[in-house]
Amino acid sequence: MEYIKRKDPTKIAAREDFERKLLPLVREYLRRDFGKKKWVFNEFLVGSTKRNLVLIGNEGFDMDYQLRFERIPENHLTDAKATKLLFKDYFDRANKELDLGLTYCEDSTHVLTMKKIESGKVKYSYDIALLRLDSVGQYIILKNEKHDKSDDYHYVQLQQCDNFTKQYKKVRTPQAWNLLREIYKGKKEEYQNICKDERPASFSLLGEAVNEVVQELEL
């Protein structure tokens, strides 16, 4: 696996396709089917993609997004399965209407995954997580807990990000940054040939790498 540049044209184009084409059309479907302001959410580019730590391997590179919902219709608020399948359908419809050449959404454990495939190889993929607020105002993430052939859709607590942000801010020097890139790359390479549903999330691997850098360099 190799790191791609911050201003890589393929990464820039992938971001524009998602944020300026796919999402606006999905929002239009929601307005058309449910009415104005029934669904309210903001999108966030997260993890290694946000921090210029994007690695390209035998499955291209990942664009990790979170859709954080501030408002959800009552009948979808607790029906995790209906919510995920609704957005799966909308992203598939938008992709087809826009002719973006992406694969149909895969229902992964924590995300919906769409891939751009060219010449039989994955160029890049979108991993789209769906989050809503719980009763105390904390974000919880929609998860499909797969058991053999059955699915169990529910919400779980989002991994605590405060400590990660605090630790990440300590990685300031060129030595620390280079070590972080080395450790994170090694962790991603270790899992790249494993089934996606069985891999640790990229954010978890990045958190592990940050903690190891802070510990090794005593930051």
Residue bearing tokens 């992406």:
102
Residue 59 has pLDDT above 80, yes or no: no
Do 138 and 176 have their domain in common? Answer: no
The band of 58, judged by pLDDT with boundaries at 50, 70 and 90, is confident
Q: Which amino acid is at 214?
A: V
**Structure tokens belonging to residue 81:** 């399965």
* Per-residue pLDDT, 12: 93
In a shared domain, residues 168 and 110: no
The pLDDT assigned to 26 comes to 97
The pair of structure tokens assigned to 122 is 């994955």
Same domain for 173 and 123: no
Residue at which a domain ends, from 143, 158, 173? 158
User: Is the pLDDT reported for residue 182 higher than 70?
Assistant: yes
Nearest to 133 by CA among 67, 68, 42, 44: 68
- Per DSSP bridges, beta strands 121-133 and 139-147 are antiparallel
**The domain that contains 40 carries what CATH number?**
3.30.460.90
Which amino acid appears at position 109 of this protein?
Answer: T
pLDDT band at 206 (very low <50, low <70, confident <90, very high): confident
Q: Can you say whether residue 72 is alpha, beta or left, with left for phi > 0 and alpha for psi between -120 and 50 degrees?
A: beta
| Count of structural domains, the chain | 2
My answer on whether 26 and 115 are in the same domain is: yes
Q: Is the pLDDT of residue 55 over 70?
A: yes
Q: Are 62 and 76 in the same domain? A: yes
pLDDT tens for each residue of 3-54: 988 889 999 999 999 999 999 999 999 999 999 999 999 999 987 877 888 8
User: Does residue 202 share a domain with residue 140?
Assistant: no
Both 55 and 96 in one domain: the answer is yes
Residues 95 and 199 in one domain: no
Domain co-membership, 108 together with 201: no
User: Which pLDDT tens digit goes with each residue over 82-122?
Assistant: 999 999 999 999 999 999 999 999 998 889 999 999 988 88
Mean pLDDT for the chain overall: 89
User: Could you tell me if 148 and 182 lie in one domain?
Assistant: no
N residues, the chain:
219
Q: Count the neighbouring beta carbons within 10 Å of the beta carbon of residue 150.
A: 7
pTM: 0.86
**Contact between residue 165 and residue 31 where contact means Cβ atoms under 8 Å apart:** no
Is the predicted pLDDT of residue 200 greater than 80, yes or no? no
pLDDT score at 194 = 80
Out of 158, 184, 206, a domain closes at 158
Q: What confidence score (pLDDT) does residue 197 get?
A: 66
Q: How far apart, in Å, do the first and last CA atoms of the chain sit?
A: 27
Give the structural domain span for 200.
Answer: 160-219
Q: Write the pLDDT tens digit of every residue in 125-162.
A: 999 999 999 888 888 999 998 777 778 899 988 766 66
129, two tokens: 């997580």
> 145 and 169 share a domain?
no
10 and 26 fall within a common domain: yes
